[in-house]
Structure 1
Amino acid sequence: MSTFVLIPGMCHGGWCFDELAEQLRSRGHRAYPLTLTGIAERSHLLGGGVNLDTHIQDVTGVLTAENITEAILVGHSYGGMVITGAADRAPAERVRGLVYLDAVVPGDGDSCWSLVTEQERRWYVDVVDSGYATRPLPFFDPRATAHPLASLLQPLRLTGDLAHVRRREYVYAAGWDGESPFTPVYERLRHDPSWTTHAVDSAHNLMRDAPQDLLRILLDAA
């Protein structure tokens, strides 16, 4: 049995992993889909102080409260920022694997803003009236809500090299309509022997558009 902690991308709650979590549990694994502070059912907590550190604490707090060890952290899109920071800050025994789902893979000092293209940056600055959050795009799930802007701008500070993480996987969505901001990271990682990479014929929302491929990859990671 493995334990998966599932982190959504921008504007999405843990609900985006409902089907995947059910499939993992039916095969004997534990699955914790998380909603990050300020989003979805936690949108009432949105404010100027909600940033990347807040979201990393959301994950490390669950690892501690549920006494999870040997977790596989799975992050979609923006969630790559969060799982990287959580793996760095949590005690080594808490995390054994990282799976990035068409996601950013940051280093020390990177922000989501610095890692994406100008097209994504134009989206980020389309903020709600408070100025605290980026609006969801029109084609998102109707349940999508605004996303805390500070979490996209704050640089990630890493204290180590994540050498204790024994398995790292990258799942690339090869079916974008137009340029994918994640192509450069996929091309870099697929030549790195310390990574296992997968290219899936899917749009960016892998959970919705390629659920069986994604389930197979996570079961292999387990």
Structure 2
Amino acid sequence: MTNFVLVAGAWLGAWAWDEVAAALRAAGHGVHPLTLSGLAERQGEPAGQQTHVRDIVDEIERLDLRDVVLVGHSYSGVPVGQAAERIRDRLTRVVFVDANVPVDGESFLAGWPSDEVRKAIEATGYWPPVTAEDCAGQGLTDEQIARFVHRATPHPGATATEPAVLTGDLGELAGTYVKCLLDGDEPWGAAAQLLESERWELVNLDTGHWPMFSQPRELARVLHESVTAP
């Protein structure tokens, strides 16, 4: 049985995957949404970049999961990519959902304009949650935006500013990159480079950056097909 380990991006916890998880379970998969340290019900727990990597690896080892499809959305692509290297013997596939791809020695914030975010982190230690305005144009209903904004929690700043640690080439792993087209036409930077590997495939979704809210059944279908296609 395939075991999906689902890790949401900044400000979110395991709750963000509720609808996707239900659809995957209905298809017969094992599903394990994960809340990272310092977020959602784990608010207040100290967290750095490597804390989040350990969160993922420790949960997979604690549950003794095999045939793992490790899914990282947005920010969590950075710790998920690092964790994927460390669980190679348990890993079937890694899936990045409109996610940042880790680069050895670089932080999540590297490579894009982030001065305001850095200033907020320096001042408070946290990356402030999204507002309703931040969610505009991403295929979300007013109800979905309200739920997202209400449940979002401040993101531990060190996880976004500390560097990733990689020892190998993620292109050697079997993987899927899901690009959400309302958030840009095509992958860029390290994601684009990763897709040059023959072991990686690109899947486009005609929705915004948070498909677990805007198109959960379609996202579940993509995840299911990533391991069931010939």
> Normalization by structure 1: what TM-score?
0.87
* Contact 2:54/2:83 (<8 A) preserved: yes
Q: CA 1:174/1:216 → structure 2, altered by over 3 Å: closer, same or farther?
A: same
Q: 2:65 aligned with 1:71, yes or no?
A: no
Residue of structure 1 equivalent to 2:119: 125
Among the aligned pairs, what percent are the same residue? 33
* Contact 1:5/1:72 (<8 A) preserved: yes
Q: Alignment partner of 2:120: what SS?
A: coil
Q: Alignment partner of 1:11: what SS?
A: coil
Superposition deviation, residue 132 in structure 1 = 2.0
1:168 aligned residue (175, 179, 196): 175
Residue of structure 2 equivalent to 1:145: 153
Superposition deviation, residue 107 in structure 1 = 2.2
Aligned length: 212
Q: CA 1:186/1:54 → structure 2, altered by over 3 Å: closer, same or farther?
A: closer
Unaligned runs of 5+ in 2: 133-147
* C-alpha distance in 1 between matches for 2:104 and 2:6: 22
Q: What CA deviation, in whole Å up to 9, does each residue of 1:157-184 have, x standing for no partner?
A: 112234763x2100011113xx689544
* Contact 2:179/2:186 (<8 A) preserved: no
* C-alpha distance in 2 between matches for 1:29 and 1:210: 19
* C-alpha distance in 2 between matches for 1:11 and 1:95: 26
Q: What CA deviation, in whole Å up to 9, does each residue of 1:54-80 have, x standing for no partner?
A: 001101111111001120100000110
Superposition deviation, residue 187 in structure 1 = 4.6
Residue of structure 2 equivalent to 1:51: 48
Q: Hey, which bits of structure 1, 4+ residues long, moved more than 3 A?
A: 179-192
Residue of structure 2 equivalent to 1:203: 208
* C-alpha distance in 1 between matches for 2:23 and 2:98: 20
